[in-house]
């Protein structure tokens, strides 16, 4: 692969990694909030012992789990792109 092409790909990868890292920061913040809400709903369900409170807990917990899954996917994408970036840097330096 030509040096200019490798450099272009590295620039593109850097942009994508920066966006993914921003997404990860946002996901972390949202997960913290959703986990807190799920925990509050769990406590309300335990105290009230009503079907409505139990359903609210299950819904809040599903939202937190979905955000956790999204967070894991973003981390996996970051790791994959970092490996590609490393490979391109190796090609650029001739290793």
Q: Burial level of 58, CB count in 10 A (0-12/13-18/19+)?
A: middle
Predicted model pTM: 0.86
pLDDT at position 26: 98
Residue 25 near residue 71, CB atoms below 8 Å: no
pLDDT at 83: 97
Question: In this predicted structure, what is the pLDDT of residue 95?
Answer: 67
pLDDT in tens, 47-89: 998 999 999 999 999 999 999 999 999 999 999 999 999 999 9
Residues listed for the chain: 95
Is the torsion defined by CA of 49, 53, 59, 61 positive or negative? negative
Nearest to 87 by CA among 15, 10, 20, 12: 10
**8-40 residue pLDDT tens:** 999 999 999 999 999 999 999 999 999 999 999
pLDDT at residue number 80? 98
């Amino acid at each position: 692969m030509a040096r200019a092409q490798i450099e272009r790909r590295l620039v593109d990868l850097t942009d994508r990694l920066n966006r993914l890292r921003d997404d990860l920061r946002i996901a972390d913040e949202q997960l913290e909030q959703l986990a807190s809400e799920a925990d509050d709903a769990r406590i309300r369900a335990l105290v009230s012992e009503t079907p409505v409170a139990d359903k609210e807990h299950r819904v809040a917990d599903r939202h937190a789990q979905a955000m956790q899954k999204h967070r894991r996917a973003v981390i996996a994408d970051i790791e994959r792109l970092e490996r590609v970036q490393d490979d391109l840097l190796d090609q650029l330096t001739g290793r």
